[in-house]
Amino acid sequence: MRVGVFLVAAQFPGQDPGEVLRDTVEAVVAAEEAGFDDAWVAEHHFMSYGVCPSAVTLMAAAAGRTRRIGLGTAVSVLSTQHPVALAEQASMVHHLSGGRFTLGVGRGGPWVDLEVFGTGLDRFESGFAGSLDVLCRALDGYAVGGGHEVGVVPSAPLRPVVACTSSGTVRVAAERGLPMLLGMHVDDAGKAATVREYGPGGGHVAAVVGNVADTTAEAVRELTSVMPTWMEPGVAGYIPINGQPRKSRNIAEYVEFLARIHPVGSADHCVETIRRTVAATGIGHLIVFVEGTKRTLDTIRRFGAEVLPRVRSF
């Protein structure tokens, strides 16, 4: 059983983005001290939901502050950048961290980012598989342009993890034998169905929300009262490309749903919830979202002390 922390560099109202980024690195350091196996950070653009526009860069900074913990991106958005450039950056962090880095990539969404970076809607709708292939070849040390094949320096023996939120991305990952990263918005049944759809293979990673308190009622009350204060204004940054209308979501109901399906509660409740998730999905690598209550360091330390040692044998 592997357990990591999942960070999005969430900006609560009144916080400075630079402060949030520094605190995110401190959270990775705290996770190492608390005994977690790895720490993963998400990439977002033009929004307060997450103020880290380069997960690879942040993990390079974290590599210099840590010695043992694994470092990953969950995810680097492949649709908004050149895959060879991403491979070069990932290879650097692999070597600088002593081989502790895992590159997670995702298709992203139909957001205005595609217009700003100039990659366009076609790159999102139909270009993910091709970009992933270019990325994997570059990680192996090869790139082609203008009829010339060049050696990528440095290269790294990295096997990307692929965020899968649709049958299309599941198929892309499965065809290439790449493990999946499954989001915290999906319950155990949904994750299990995706694993079955993928077919033979393993190494998958699943994100869950975590919060530990003396009682389950207290943990749920804290998460559902605090998390929407960051998420509500944060998701407004998801601006659809071409001015298309954005689907709305009741944030309060969504956070209540997350609290029901994830390890949010007393230590005993969290342990049992993780036990059920592992049994239902067969996934033995969870990453715990720890920023929901604005007590990120306390959540990391308490989860590490009260829950982590009890789930190692699952």
Q: In terms of residue numbers, what domain contains 241?
A: 2-311
Residue 283 has pLDDT above 80, yes or no: yes
Residue 39 pairs with which residues in a beta bridge? 5, 71
Q: Token pair 């605090």 is at which residue? A: 226
Burial 129-156 (b: 16+ CB within 10 A, else e): bebbebbbbbbebbbeeeeeeeebeebb
Q: Is 203 left (phi over 0), alpha (psi -120 to 50) or beta?
A: left
Element (H, E) at 123: helix 121-126
Q: What digits encode the pLDDT tens for the residues 159-171? A: 999 999 999 999 9
37 neighbors 1 (Cβ within 8 angstroms): no
* Nearest partner of 135 among 178, 98, 100, 99, judged by Cα: 178
CA–CA separation, 141 and 152 (whole Å): 5
CA distances from 285 to 39, 61, 189, 229, 232 (A): 12, 24, 17, 29, 29
Element (H, E) at 141: none
The mean per-residue pLDDT over the stretch 278-291 comes to 98
CA–CA separation, 108 and 165 (whole Å): 10
Q: Place 247 in a pLDDT band, splitting at 50, 70 and 90.
A: confident
DSSP letter for 240, please.
Answer: B
Residue 304 has pLDDT above 90, yes or no: yes
CA–CA separation, 165 and 31 (whole Å): 27
CA–CA separation, 77 and 249 (whole Å): 23
Q: What digits encode the pLDDT tens for the residues 53-106? A: 999 999 999 999 999 999 999 999 999 999 999 999 999 999 999 999 999 999
Q: What digits encode the pLDDT tens for the residues 183-220? A: 999 999 999 999 999 999 999 999 999 999 999 999 99
CA–CA separation, 241 and 115 (whole Å): 7
Q: What digits encode the pLDDT tens for the residues 7-17? A: 999 999 999 99
Domain count, the chain: 1
CA distances from 264 to 69, 123, 181 (A): 24, 37, 21
CA–CA separation, 151 and 140 (whole Å): 9
- Supply the CATH number for residue 280's domain: 3.20.20.30
* Nearest partner of 262 among 252, 249, 247, 272, judged by Cα: 272
Q: How many CA atoms lie within 13 A of 108 on its CB side?
A: 31
CA–CA separation, 286 and 305 (whole Å): 17
